[in-house]
Amino acid sequence: MDVEILQELHTRYLPDASLRPETWNEAVAWATKVQYGVSGLLVPGEYEATWRAFDYLPDSISRNKKDYGEIPDFIWEESLKLCPDEDDLWRMGMSAYMAGKNQFAIAAWEPLAERGNGSAASNLAVIFNEIGDHETAQYWRHIEAQDDFHSATIPVDTSAPLYDPDSGEVTVGESRDGERLRIAVHKPGVGVRHGVIAGGKGVGKSNSMTLILLGAFSSGKYLLWLMDWSPEQKHYDPLKKAGVIDWFTGNNTERSLGMLSAAVRILEFRKGKGGYVDPTPEKPAIVIGVEEAHHLFNQSAEAASLCLQILREGADAGVSIFLTIPNIALESFGGNAELRAEVAANDKHWKFFMGAAGLPMLRDVTQIKRSPTSGDPFV
């Protein structure tokens, strides 16, 4: 941020007009002075004559359970004026929406949507539906539908390997700019990763799951253990035809519990023995894929408990689990608040929120983090 803008804004934070602050030059000298041989509160920014907060300060605030809505409106307004490009406007809109500042989210996303960004238009439709303006929401849905990138299947270049052995990442699509989108199914030296894919019917959850599983299998370091609890029982048909599934239970409760129990026994054995942090063809990891997992959890509380144990303990034992669910409401986890909190609040796990419900779910995750094990953090 430019020094001149800091100078303009800083006095507006004073809680009492009778306070007599030091001069501006003294304040800048104090804020930029290296303290305890580490850093000043302000450090040089990316551009000349700009400053930014020392990384620890926003990190400390992000761990605080205070409401981000307490940021004064004049800061939101000034921040919008300073957004130089579309990426900044996108992030600004996300921050404002999470803070409950819909007016600033709208101000950030409208220019993007008017330039044809379907993702921004989709977010605007969500906001206007939430506030009851369905006519305006319908307009933004119309704009969204005109964006070929947003309405079409995200392309994946299958001529290139899906799995990167150096990073443990799998390619799951391409960004608007043509950049390959990757997620790490394994973090070298740390262990395998877990994830949840949430969204309504027809938004691409199963396709995303299939890409993750194919990428893992193509490495030669993973065994696929799969359950399909969808009514259609067809989500894994391509993988079954290819003969790459090591264990498949369908939607049979007893067999599903048998798979999860076996996975827990394996992770307990591996944790005691060690040496399974990094998968190899000789010591392969197991990735459990559960389609429409909410049906399983509502059928069996034991299954929810076993999945929770895998999420908490499976990483360094080479036992991974990925779930698809419709949303992150408590019902999607069979009423198990601990399981929902582990999935939503643990930043070590991947979270994919898809479709029109994706934006509200991102906000809901923030609320879950503030009260992770309560019966309902939304009240």
* Last residue in a domain, options 91, 120, 150: 150
Residue 158: inside a domain: no
Please indicate, yes or no, whether residues 228 and 85 belong to a single structural domain of this protein.
Answer: no
Query: How many other C-beta atoms can be found within 10 angstroms of the C-beta atom of residue 275?
Result: 11
For residue 28, the model assigns a pLDDT of: 82
Residue 349: inside a domain: yes
For residue 379, the model assigns a pLDDT of: 36
Residue 157: inside a domain: no
Please indicate, yes or no, whether residues 140 and 208 belong to a single structural domain of this protein.
Answer: no
* Last residue in a domain, options 150, 171, 202: 150
Q: If we measure between CA atoms, which residue out of 100, 112, 14, 55 comes closest to residue 378? A: 100
Please indicate, yes or no, whether residues 19 and 137 belong to a single structural domain of this protein.
Answer: yes
Please indicate, yes or no, whether residues 117 and 181 belong to a single structural domain of this protein.
Answer: no
For residue 324, the model assigns a pLDDT of: 95
What are the DSSP calls for 306-348, one per residue?
HHHHHHHH-GGGTEEEEEEES--SGGGGTT-HHHHHHHHH-TT
Please indicate, yes or no, whether residues 221 and 365 belong to a single structural domain of this protein.
Answer: yes
Please indicate, yes or no, whether residues 194 and 82 belong to a single structural domain of this protein.
Answer: no
Residue 377: inside a domain: no
* Last residue in a domain, options 101, 125, 150: 150
Please indicate, yes or no, whether residues 291 and 232 belong to a single structural domain of this protein.
Answer: yes
Distance of CA 59 to the CA centre of its chain: 18
Kindly report the CATH number assigned to the domain that includes residue 102.
1.25.40
Per the rule left: phi > 0, alpha: psi between -120 and 50, beta: everything else, 243 is left
Residue 257: inside a domain: yes
For residue 378, the model assigns a pLDDT of: 37
List per-residue pLDDT tens for the chain, 379 residues long: 677 777 777 777 666 656 667 788 888 888 888 877 788 888 888 777 788 888 877 766 666 655 444 778 888 888 888 776 888 899 899 989 988 899 999 999 999 999 988 889 999 999 999 999 999 999 999 998 888 765 545 555 556 678 888 888 888 877 666 777 888 899 999 999 999 999 988 778 888 899 899 999 999 999 999 999 998 888 898 888 888 999 999 999 999 999 999 999 999 999 989 899 999 999 999 999 999 999 999 999 999 999 999 999 999 999 999 999 999 999 999 999 999 999 988 888 999 888 878 888 888 887 777 665 544 443 3
Alpha-helical segments (H) within 157-235 = 205-218
- Where in the sequence is the domain holding 230, given as residue range(s)? 163-370
Please indicate, yes or no, whether residues 337 and 236 belong to a single structural domain of this protein.
Answer: yes
For residue 344, the model assigns a pLDDT of: 85
Determine the 3-state secondary structure of 170 from DSSP: strand
Q: If we measure between CA atoms, which residue out of 328, 347, 326 comes closest to residue 337? A: 328
pTM: 0.77
Please indicate, yes or no, whether residues 137 and 167 belong to a single structural domain of this protein.
Answer: no
Residue 26: inside a domain: yes
Convert 281-297 into a string of H (helix), E (strand) and C (coil). CCCCEEEEEEECHHHHH
The Cα–Cα gap between 30 and 109 comes to 37
Please indicate, yes or no, whether residues 223 and 183 belong to a single structural domain of this protein.
Answer: yes
Residue 96: inside a domain: yes
Q: How many domains does the chain have?
A: 2
Residue 378: inside a domain: no
Please indicate, yes or no, whether residues 169 and 198 belong to a single structural domain of this protein.
Answer: yes
Q: If we measure between CA atoms, which residue out of 139, 134, 71, 136 comes closest to residue 100? A: 71
Q: If we measure between CA atoms, which residue out of 38, 41, 71, 62 comes closest to residue 53? A: 41
Kindly report the CATH number assigned to the domain that includes residue 219.
3.40.50.300
Please indicate, yes or no, whether residues 222 and 78 belong to a single structural domain of this protein.
Answer: no
